[in-house]
Amino acid sequence: MEENVKMNMEDFSLTDDLFVRVGTEGLSGEEIGRKSLTYWADVWRRFRSNKLALLGMFLLIGVVVLLFTGPLISGKDYQFIDASLKNISPCAEHWFGTDDMGRDLFTRVCVGGRISIYIGLCCTLVMFVIGALLGALAGLKGGLVDDVIMRICEFIGNLPYLIIVVILSMVMGRSLFSLVFAMSLTAWVGTARMVRGQILQIKEQDYVQAAKALGADTGRIIMKHLLPNTLGIIMVDITMSVPGFIFSEAFLSYIGLGVKPPETSWGALASAGQQQLMFYPYQLFFPCLLIVLTILSFHLIGDGLSDALDPKLRQ
C-alpha cells in the first residue's frame, strides 16, 4: 500500500485521461426524460390506473348506449299496448317481460331511462351554471355582492328541500320543465358555497400572488389559475349530483308528482313495478337494476375522479 502511494507520488503528472468523466457515458442528465404532463393529462393518467373508475366509465357508456339503441334492437314501441300479452315473464320475445298493460318492458326501461338521465343531466347543468357563476361572483367580488349572494344562499338553505319540490311540482303541473325547475331551484346553493370557498382559498395562494406580481391581468388569472383549480371539485360534485337528481326524480314519480304518462321514467316504472311485486317481481327488478347500474357507475367515476384530482385524498 505504502509502496503504491509512494510510487504514485513519484510519477505524478497531470494527464488528460485523469479528467475523463466516469460513468456518465450515454446518459443525458439535462434532458427531460418524459414529456411533462399537463394537469388534466395527469388526472387522466391517475384516473385511468383506477380500475374501478374505469369500470364505472365503461358501465355508464354501456348503459347509455343501451338506452339509445335498445328500442331499435327490440323493434318495439314503448307505448304499444297489447292486451293479450299482459304480465309475460322475460322471454326471447320480450327480454324484460311485459307490464300489466302488455307493453314491452325492455323498451319502456330504455325510453324511461333516457328521461331519467335527461332530467339528472338537466338539473345538474342548471345547478352547476347558476351555482358556479354566483359562487365565483361572490368569491371574486367580495363585499356587498358577496353578502347579498350569501344571504340568498342562507335563505334557500333554510328551506325544506323536499317540501319545496313537492309544492312546486303541484303548482306548476306535471311536466319535465317543472320537475327540472323544482329540483334545481334549491340545489345550486351547495355548488355556489363550494365554488366561493374554493375561490376565496385559491385567491390568496402564493402562485396567484406571483402571477399578479408578474403582471397577469384578472382574465388570465381566472382562466389559468382559478378555473382549472376549481374545475376539479366541481367535476366531482357534478358526477355525484346526477345520481342524486335521478333519485329525486324516482321519488317524485313514486309519489305521483313526477313524469306524467304516457311518458315514463325509471321512477315511474319502479313505482308501477312495486304494485305488482307480489306476483311479478321482475317488473320491479329490471327498472331497479338499471337505476342501480347507472348510479353505481356515477359513484365509481366520482370516486375515481376525486382520487385522481386530489392525491391527498388517496389513502
Partner 1 sequence: MMVKFIGKRVAYAVLTLFLITTATFFLVAAAPGDPIAAKVGQMPEQAQEIINEKYGFDKPVTTRYIMYMKNLLTTGDFGESIVYTGKSANDIIKDNTLVSAKIGLMALVFQVVIGVLLGMISALNRGKPVDHMIRVLVVLAICVPSFVFASLLQYFLAFKWKLVPVFGWGELRHYVLPVAAYAIGGIASYTKYMRSSTLSVIGEDYIVTAKAKGCGKGRVVRKHVLRNSMIPIVTMIGPALAGIFGGSFIIEKMFSIPGLGFYYVKAVSDNDYTMVIGLTIFFALLFVASLIVVDILYGIVDPRIRVAKGSK
Nearer to partner 1 by Cβ, of 228 and 281: the residue is 281
Binding residue for partner 1 (CB under 8 A) from 166, 200, 208, 211?
166
Binding residue for partner 1 (CB under 8 A) from 155, 201, 205, 218?
155
Rounded CA separation 309/138 (Å): 24
| DSSP designation for 95 | T
Kindly indicate which of the ranges 125-133, 191-199, 218-226, 289-297 contains the residues binding partner 1, using the contact rule CB under 8 A.
Answer: 289-297
Nearer to partner 1 by Cβ, of 74 and 178: the residue is 178
User: Does residue 44 touch partner 1 according to CB under 8 A?
Assistant: no
Phi, psi of 97 (to 5 degrees): 80, -170
- To partner 1, the closest distance from the beta carbon of 163 in angstroms equals 5
Interacting positions 5-24 with partner 1 (CB under 8 A): none
Query: How deeply is 123 buried, as exposed, middle or buried, from its count of CB atoms within 10 A (0-12, 13-18, 19+)?
Result: buried
With beta carbons less than 8 A apart as the criterion, state whether 232 and 167 touch. no
Task: Count CA atoms within 13 Å of residue 149 on its CB side.
Answer: 27
Binding residue for partner 1 (CB under 8 A) from 49, 77, 277, 311?
277
Task: Give the DSSP H or E segment for 200.
Answer: helix 176-203
Characterize 160-183 residue by residue with b for buried, 16 or more Cβ atoms within 10 angstroms of its Cβ, and e for exposed.
Answer: ebeeebbebbeeeebebebbbbbb
User: Does residue 54 touch partner 1 according to CB under 8 A?
Assistant: no
Interacting positions 169-188 with partner 1 (CB under 8 A): 170-171, 173
> Could you list the residues that contact partner 1 (CB under 8 A)?
154-155, 158-163, 166-168, 170-171, 173, 243, 247, 250-251, 254-257, 267, 270-271, 274, 277-278, 281, 284, 288, 291-292, 295-296, 299-300, 315
